[in-house]
Each structure stands twice: as structure tokens, then as C-alpha cells.
Homo-oligomer: A and B are copies of this chain.
Amino acid sequence: MTYCVGMQLREGIVMIADTRTNAGIDNISTYKKLHTLIDDGKSFVVAASAGSLSVTQAMVSILAEGIEPDFLDGPRRRLEDAPSMFRAAELVGEALAMARRDIGRTLDGTGINADVSLLLAGRIGNEPLTLYLIYSEGNFIQCQPDCPYAQIGEFKYGKPILDRALEWDTPLDEAVKVGLISFDSTMRSNLSVGLPFDMLIIPADRSQPQIRRRIEQGDPYFTNLSSSWGRLLSEARSQVPDPPFLKTGGFGK
């Protein structure tokens, strides 16, 4: 399993991806799921992936080679040549659908799933930052201010905190905190999501530096966040009034 979240806010984009993959519960490894697809000084595009690792890697290779031309003797279509994030997402979706079709065919009847979903984030040239959620079939939706995040993989455990806490105007440092709390909740409930996490912060303001960080097992900030969040939740619970329809002091004592 996997959990990745992308948050698109007024101040920029935050991407967090775990690195745990498993082929059965007895075969667990660490693989990077946050892939840099373009970083040429002008444009910057990354993708986070959830699902079949072989399909994801095939897709990345297909994109690196460039896709067959649209017409005879045309140039191979490359991500670097995409004139916009929309066209980049289209090309990535096409590569994903190709990889899934090829590998899916060999998996027919094995019960092994060849689905992959992606979060695609970044900017082409001077375009604004954009975040897409790309489905297994290659179609995609763009993240909008009304719901300033997208998730892939094991998303349910960590969704309530995002729904409550994230808004378009949430500052980036607050978003990082909320994102890591979301990962903490997911890790506790699903063993197949685990540290280390890869984190990337892309400020909307191009004069600000991007921040990349791998949060390893024992990372002091995450360890502290995880334990203080547990304590704060328990304090919050104690402040919620007791149900009036029960005798105070509990039962059966």
C-alpha cells in the first residue's frame, strides 16, 4: 500500500509520500514514490505514485524515452516539450495508460492489480503552480481552492484531519504540520504505510527556495509531533462534555 497527499494552497504546493511497498505482507521494501519528471531550471514537475510499482516504473521509463509521434516522421513526444501543465498531465496520463495496458495484459487472470494513480504537481515555465490527480485510466482532475488537496493510496484514515484543517489560505508550515498528522493517523491504522516519508515544498513565489526533506525513522520533529498530537487529542477529548444521558461517574462501579 501507499499513502501520498498533495496540498495546493495560495502559498504553494506541499507533497508528502511514504516509501513503503509490499508484495504480500511478508515482502516489504522501501522505494521512492516521489519522482522528479522535469527540473530544467525553467519548469519543474514531480509525480507521486500509488499502486503497481512495475507499472509506475514502466511509465517513468516510457516518459523518459518519449512517446511515439502523433504523425509520421513527427518528433517523439517528450514531457520537456509540453507547453502547459495540462499537456504534461495528458502525456503522463497517456504513458500511464500504455504501461498499464502492456503490463496488465501479462497479469490477466493472476488477480494482481495493475492500477496506478498519480499526483502530478509543478509548473511549466511561468505558469501558475498546478496539482493534478491522475487516475489509472489516464484521465485526470485538477485540484481547486474549494478542496485544496488530493490523496492517493490508503487515503481514508488520514482524510478527516485534512477536511477539517486545510483551506486555500492555510500557510505552508501549517499545511506541512496537518499533512504529517494525516500521515501519523494513517501509519497507526495501516502497517503498509510507513516511514521514511519524502516531502517536497514548492512555494508559489519563485524567489523562495524549494524544500525537500526525507523524514526518516526517529526524525525528531515527526516523533515529537506524533507523541504530542496523541497527548493533545487526549486532552481535547477530556474537554468534550460528558454525555448527559449517562449517570456521571460511569456504570458498573
Chain A residues packing against B (C-beta within 8 Å): 10-12, 156-157, 159-161, 163-165, 171-174, 176-178, 180-181, 185, 188-189, 201, 203-205, 208, 211, 213, 221, 224-225, 228-230, 232-237, 239-246, 248-253
Contacts and interface: CB of A to CB of B under 8 A. Distances in A.
A172 B250 contact: yes
B252 A172 contact: yes
Contacts of A244: 221
Contact of A177 (B204, B228, B229, B242): B242
A189 B159 contact: yes
A221 B188 CA distance: 29
B164 A243 contact: no
Contact of A211 (B159, B224, B245, B250): B245
A230 B173 contact: no
A24 B235 CA distance: 40
Contact of A173 (B12, B160, B172, B242): B242
Contact of A157 (B156, B165, B213): B156
Copy number in the complex reads: 2
A159 B160 CA distance: 11
A243 B189 contact: no
A164 B233 contact: yes
Given A221-B245, A240-B181, A251-B12, A189 B173 contact: no
A253 B253 CA distance: 56
A188 B176 contact: no
A10 B213 CA distance: 45
Nearest to A208: B251
Most chain B beta-carbon neighbours within 10 Å: one of A157, A180, A230: A157
Contacts of A188: 160, 163-164
